[in-house]
Amino acid sequence: MPHRPFMLGIAGDSGAGKTTLSSGVARLLGVERTTNICVDDYHKYDRKQRKELGITPLNPACNYMDIMEQHVRLLSEGEPILKPVYNHTTGTFDPPVYVPAPRAVEEGGRLIPRVVILEGLLTLFSPEMRGRYHLTVYLDPEEELRREWKVKRDVAKRGYTPEEVLADIERRMPDSRAFIWPQKAHADIIVRFYRPPGYDPENPSTLNVRITLKHTLPRLDLSEVLHSAYEDEALIRLEARKEADILDITGNVRPEQAQTFERIIWEHLGHHAEHFDPSLVGTFWDKAGQSYPLALTQLIIAYYLVKMRELAIERGHLRVA
Ligand SMILES: Nc1ncnc2c1ncn2[C@@H]1O[C@H](COP(=O)(O)OP(=O)(O)OP(=O)(O)O)[C@@H](O)[C@H]1O
Ligand SMILES: O=C(CO)[C@H](O)[C@H](O)COP(=O)(O)O
């Protein structure tokens, strides 16, 4: 019998920080113990064809949604897939790659379900895919910040000029509104990084983050985890609201506070985090620096994931033998 994995879906607009978040969560759990898939590989047209057709990659019609849905289903059932590969450097397609069956992994002397992380523009778009995830996250940074991140990344890594990136963001705006942003309504966790007053783009690790924890999540008593960690409620604050719990973390949280908080969540992850190198949490590539709000966000998501996986095993929803 195939082993059913734990499925994490991460969506958001281009440059919203999906890869940064998902690679951090994968490092937390052990990269070789997770299967990471970017669903932007399912683009139907290459860059030249998209230009000719006047279609943006955000439009579901520009993607093989049927194959994406089938692959999400196969992975959730513990089956292997042959995944297409879109190459951001050439703007065309590379040969497909074989993704092995997401088999269970050994941890603390027992077999537990592997985590499959699916991230991309349209991960939460269709009900078929949404029904396959155990946990869903939407990245919703302040729009100005997303633009700043996308321009920096596309210029440094994808060979565009800043003017080209900004013009492309404008061209995509109707599709962002129509297809990407509405996916927020389907996420259990919404992560919003935003700039503090006087924010210096040269020091992006000072960003604030608001994490919305919807009541679609199991009610884990996070306040107990948080309580012992924060002395100053203005820096890390959890507020229970009718529609969701809101966790606010400010970018000027002191390293000692953030590290205490990290350690406490860490202890709650127990042996699940034994493969992890803590110096890698919260890193983002272009600054080679660490952001505590990003580190704490990755840890909170890993915390929910580990706890929800435990619940799913207990309830017999995820059997590994
Ligand atoms: N929390 C953060 N703090 C600082 N910088 C960040 C953060 N998240 C992302 N970035 C920066 O934003 C840029 C875009 O991030 P990332 O590549 O993760 O976005 P993405 O959503 O995967 O984009 P795409 O869908 O276009 O591939 C990266 O250069 C990264 O360094
Ligand atoms: O929104 C995106 C996700 O990263 C990309 O822009 C999309 O995948 C197409 O990439 P490009 O046209 O830059 O090759």
CA pair distance 77, 29, nearest whole angstrom? 21
- DSSP label of 113: P
Pairing between strand 283-284 and 289-290?
Answer: antiparallel
Q: Average pLDDT in the 164-191 region?
A: 97
Query: 268: which 2 tokens?
Result: 């709650």
The ipTM (two decimal places) reads 0.97
Q: Average pLDDT in the 109-138 region?
A: 96
pLDDT value of residue 224: 59
- Our answer on whether the CB atom of 47 is closer than 6 Å to any ligand 2 atom is yes
pLDDT value of residue 230: 54
Give the other-Cβ count within 10 Å of 44's Cβ: 18
* Ligand 2 nearest-atom number relative to CA 172: 1
CA pair distance 205, 254, nearest whole angstrom? 12
- Our answer on whether the CB atom of 241 is closer than 6 Å to any ligand 2 atom is no
Would you place residue 243 in the very low, low, confident or very high pLDDT band (cuts 50, 70, 90)?
Answer: confident
CA pair distance 254, 235, nearest whole angstrom? 9
Indicate whether 213 pLDDT > 90. yes
Window from 38-42, 66-70, 76-80, 254-258 with minimum mean pLDDT: 254-258
pLDDT value of residue 268: 73
Q: Average pLDDT in the 155-164 region?
A: 92
CA pair distance 308, 203, nearest whole angstrom? 34
Window from 65-74, 135-144, 296-305 with minimum mean pLDDT: 296-305
Give tens-digit pLDDT for 273-305.
666 666 666 676 555 567 888 888 998 898 899
123: phi then psi, degrees, rounded to nearest 5: -55, -35
In sequence order, which residues have a C-beta less than 8 Å from that of residue 233 and are 6 or more positions away?
none
Pair 211, 300: CB distance under 8 Å? yes
- Our answer on whether the CB atom of 91 is closer than 6 Å to any ligand 2 atom is yes
pLDDT value of residue 271: 67
* Ligand 2 nearest-atom number relative to CA 13: 1
Indicate whether 311 pLDDT > 80. yes
Q: What percent of the chain has pLDDT over 90?
A: 60
Pairing between strand 236-240 and 135-139?
Answer: unpaired
* Ligand 2 nearest-atom number relative to CA 15: 4
- Our answer on whether the CB atom of 84 is closer than 6 Å to any ligand 2 atom is no
pLDDT value of residue 227: 60
pLDDT value of residue 288: 57
Prediction pTM value = 0.94
- DSSP label of 160: -
pLDDT value of residue 222: 66
In sequence order, which residues have a C-beta less than 8 Å from that of residue 289 and are 6 or more positions away?
204, 205, 283
Indicate whether 44 pLDDT > 80. yes
Residue 32 or residue 142, greater confidence? 142
Would you place residue 253 in the very low, low, confident or very high pLDDT band (cuts 50, 70, 90)?
Answer: confident
Classify the C-alpha dihedral 279-281-284-290 as positive or negative. Answer: negative
- 136 C-alpha to center of ligand 2: Å? 22
Pair 209, 293: CB distance under 8 Å? yes
CA pair distance 84, 147, nearest whole angstrom? 28
Query: 184: which 2 tokens?
Result: 């927020």
Classify the C-alpha dihedral 172-175-176-180 as positive or negative. Answer: negative
* Ligand 2 nearest-atom number relative to CA 154: 13
In sequence order, which residues have a C-beta less than 8 Å from that of residue 261 and are 6 or more positions away?
226, 229, 230, 236, 253, 296
- Sorted by where each begins, the domain ranges of the chain are 6-314
Q: Average pLDDT in the 137-141 region?
A: 98
CA pair distance 14, 39, nearest whole angstrom? 12
**What fold is seen in the domain 6-314?**
Rossmann fold (3.40.50)
Query: 307: which 2 tokens?
Result: 């706890």
